[in-house]
């Protein structure tokens, strides 16, 4: 299989692999070459793959995984590789999940601004 990990700024990884393991919202999974095609949303976690008989690991932020024929495409905002497995886990826990929490807070603040904006327009129409 061909594994490609795509980031907003370009291709992070392009490798021939025999297995891919990752984590989705409903749990961990493994993809082998003859598995059916499918799509899933990834959560921040560790993605592992076998390339040339050796297992390798990447820390990936949330994203989307698409298996289509002999290709597995992963689109994510952030990915880190080449470190020990323990360091990668800390990267996921410390960095990627913090980013997600900050984005949730920002979306919440934006939603309050939008609601306040609409409420003020409604008040203006009452006075007209």
Considering its fold, how many domains does the chain have in total?
Answer: 1
pTM of the predicted protein model: 0.69
Task: Name which of 64, 54, 84, 85 is nearest 5 in CA terms.
Answer: 64
Domain of 9? 2-127
Per-residue pLDDT of the chain (128 residues; tens, 9 = 90+): 999 999 999 999 999 999 999 999 899 999 999 999 999 999 988 899 998 888 899 988 889 999 999 999 999 988 888 667 777 777 777 776 666 677 777 778 888 888 888 888 788 877 76
Contact 80, 62 (CB under 8 A): no
CATH number at residue 56: 2.60.15.10
């Amino acid at each position: 299989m061909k594994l490609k990990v795509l980031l907003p700024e370009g291709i992070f990884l392009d490798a021939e692999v025999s297995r891919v393991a990752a984590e989705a919202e409903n749990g961990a999974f493994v993809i082998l070459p003859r598995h059916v095609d499918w799509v899933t949303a990834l959560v921040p976690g560790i993605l592992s793959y076998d390339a040339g008989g050796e297992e390798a690991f990447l820390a990936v932020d949330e994203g989307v995984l698409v298996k289509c024929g002999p290709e597995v495409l992963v689109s994510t905002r952030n990915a880190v590789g080449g470190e020990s497995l323990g360091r990668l886990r800390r990267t996921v826990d410390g960095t990627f999940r913090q980013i997600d929490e900050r984005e949730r807070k920002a979306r919440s603040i934006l939603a309050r601004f939008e609601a306040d904006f609409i409420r003020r327009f409604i008040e203006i129409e009452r006075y007209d």
